Amino acid sequence: MNTGPIYRPSLSYRLFQIVNGLIMLALVLTMLLPFANTLALSFSTPRNSMQPGIVLWPNPVSIAGYEVLFKQVDIMRPLLNNTYVAVVGTLLHVTLSAITAYALVRRPFPGRRLFILVLLVTMMIPMENIMIPIYVVYKDLGLLNTLNAIVVSGAVSGFSVLLLKNFFEGIPIELAESAEIDGANDLRIFLQIFVPLSLAGLATVTLFQFVSKWNNFFEAVLFLSDTSKYTLQIALKNLIINSDITSTTDSVSKNAQMAGVVISVLPLIILYPFLQRFFSAGITLGAVKE
């Protein structure tokens, strides 16, 4: 039985694959090595963590850094503040963005194209250019020095709305029309048809926004001055910088500093595997519309 010619990769193609693999390996190492060094230092003793060079395995293993972080530095309050901002801010962002996208798809209104154009324009304006007007508005609203200032900041974004709009446009319109004939209102159609069929898009927006809110630093510095309201990123900044400029008796050792960094990235590492499947589908499908 003739199975046809056997495909053999050319020499140039194999060289390309090897070079490409080496480049990808180098990129992976540039991300894994710093994190491995941080993790090893966080489980080192205070003295060993001050040694120069890269450490990939603590010897001996110690949790003294984490004990200092929770007992002496009291990192729990900033951690809870950060959790509140990330969870509530993400839920608010995803909800408002999804409702806006649904309205653009299901209920065309006069000026719809202009509204979409305005959404695109907002994606071109960096936060640094509008921070003074935002600060003034939040001051007039009494939101300064509150966690809600960070929660409502960026409650809706053009990127999220347009991404979800592409997902909603891929849902057969016949499903919504059939539900409407059966007496379903917009809220029921949105919750029972559009949301279940757009989980990949919603997961993508959720992951992006949660990472953004969890790592938020600029807005936290801008809006917060009360130390009891500090988020995790400000607390870590103060922990590292203040320790570097104070005397050795008052400073926090490097193992405690690295323990704070590990705690700050741990929720993201835990969250990503659960959303990776939806995230990959969201990036590939949400960007293409027939």
Query: Has residue 290 been placed in a domain?
Result: no
Q: Which amino acid is at 254?
A: K
- The residue that leads in pLDDT, 224 or 5, is 224
Query: Has residue 6 been placed in a domain?
Result: no
Residues 50-62: what's their mean pLDDT?
83
From 1-10, 12-21, 169-178, the region with the lowest mean pLDDT: 1-10
**Could you tell me the pLDDT band of residue 26, with boundaries at 50, 70 and 90?**
very high
- The residue that leads in pLDDT, 23 or 127, is 23
Let me know whether 37 and 156 are in one domain: no
| Domain hosting residue 113, numbered range | 75-285
Let me know whether 218 and 102 are in one domain: yes
**Could you tell me the pLDDT band of residue 289, with boundaries at 50, 70 and 90?**
very low
Let me know whether 220 and 126 are in one domain: yes
Let me know whether 42 and 102 are in one domain: no
Query: Has residue 165 been placed in a domain?
Result: yes
Let me know whether 53 and 91 are in one domain: no
**pLDDT tens track for 101-140:** 998 888 777 888 888 888 888 888 887 788 888 889 999 9
Let me know whether 30 and 134 are in one domain: no
Let me know whether 52 and 129 are in one domain: no
Let me know whether 210 and 250 are in one domain: yes
Let me know whether 275 and 199 are in one domain: yes
Query: Has residue 202 been placed in a domain?
Result: yes
Query: Has residue 68 been placed in a domain?
Result: no
Query: Has residue 179 been placed in a domain?
Result: yes
Query: Has residue 93 been placed in a domain?
Result: yes
Let me know whether 159 and 212 are in one domain: yes
Let me know whether 121 and 41 are in one domain: no
Q: CATH number of the domain that 191 lies in?
A: 1.10.3720.10
Distance between CA atoms of residues 104 and 99, nearest Å: 9
Residues 138-155: what's their mean pLDDT?
89
Query: Has residue 5 been placed in a domain?
Result: no
**Could you tell me the pLDDT band of residue 66, with boundaries at 50, 70 and 90?**
confident
Q: What is the pTM of this model?
A: 0.81
Let me know whether 79 and 197 are in one domain: yes
What pLDDT, on the 0 to 100 scale, is given for residue 23?
93
How many domains, the chain?
2
Q: What is the mean pLDDT of the chain?
A: 83
